[in-house]
């Protein structure tokens, strides 16, 4: 009798789990993971362009050690901060955003300084192509961040919806944070300002 009762409880549990939305929570979590990988990939793309900047400047102008050192250090810090998407917190994402913003600011500042000191550099084809690649990368980063936020919203809504909110935590489904605008940045960055044009 006890065995039959346990089998019935197990059968009811299986039936409940099949319609409880577990699979949709897994699907949404996997989508968030995928979108996070896309975000990391775009930030990696930006970081990978830094050696190209160094190479162009070394070949074209006097070596700007101080200017490029700041960019290289910011790149190193950005590469050292990683986020585990499975256990991501608001603080983790904020730290990640901060070092990435530092790299973006360093790159923009370096380009401004270089253009100011070497006006002819604006006409250098390699430099112009690098600027275009950086601009495209910034656009890709913005898109990847937006896609991540959309996936996180869908996932968070799913795990917080009734009745899933009652048991999603039991299965390890935790809320995902969102990318937020940097403090003081009400408007999208001005590309001309970013690239010193």
- In eight-state DSSP terms, residue 20 is T
Position 121 pLDDT exceeds 90: no
For position 197, what pLDDT does the model report?
A: 45
The Cα–Cα gap between 75 and 183 comes to 21
- In eight-state DSSP terms, residue 184 is T
Q: Which domains, ranges and CATH numbers included, belong to the chain?
A: 27-184 (1.20.1440.20)
Q: Which residue has the tokens 């390699």?
A: 126
CB 64 within 8 A of CB 46: no
Mean pLDDT lowest among 62-66, 77-81, 177-181, 187-191:
187-191
Q: Which pTM does this prediction carry?
A: 0.77
The Cα–Cα gap between 33 and 19 comes to 23
| Paired tokens of 43 | 């930030």
Q: Is there a cis peptide before residue 93, judged by omega within 30 degrees of 0?
A: no
R_g (Cα) of the chain, nearest Å: 23
Position 31 pLDDT exceeds 90: yes
């Amino acid at each position: 009798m006890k065995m039959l009762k346990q089998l019935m409880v197990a059968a009811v549990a299986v039936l409940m789990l099949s319609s409880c939305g577990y699979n949709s929570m897994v699907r949404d979590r996997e989508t968030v993971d995928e979108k996070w990988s896309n975000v990391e990939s775009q930030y990696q793309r930006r970081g990978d362009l830094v050696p190209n900047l160094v190479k162009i400047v070394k070949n074209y102008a006097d070596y700007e050690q101080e200017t490029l050192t700041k960019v290289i250090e910011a790149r190193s810090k950005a590469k050292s901060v990683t986020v585990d998407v499975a256990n991501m917190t608001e603080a983790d994402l904020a730290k990640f955003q901060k070092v990435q913003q530092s790299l973006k600011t360093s790159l923009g500042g370096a380009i401004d300084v270089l253009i100011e000191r070497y006006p002819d550099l604006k006409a250098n084809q390699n430099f112009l192509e690098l600027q275009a690649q950086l601009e495209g990368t910034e656009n890709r980063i913005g898109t990847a961040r937006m896609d991540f936020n959309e996936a996180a919203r869908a996932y968070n809504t799913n795990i917080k919806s009734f009745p899933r909110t009652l048991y999603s935590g039991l299965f390890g489904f935790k809320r995902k944070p969102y990318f937020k605008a940097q403090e003081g940045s009400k408007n999208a960055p001005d590309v001309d300002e970013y690239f010193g044009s």
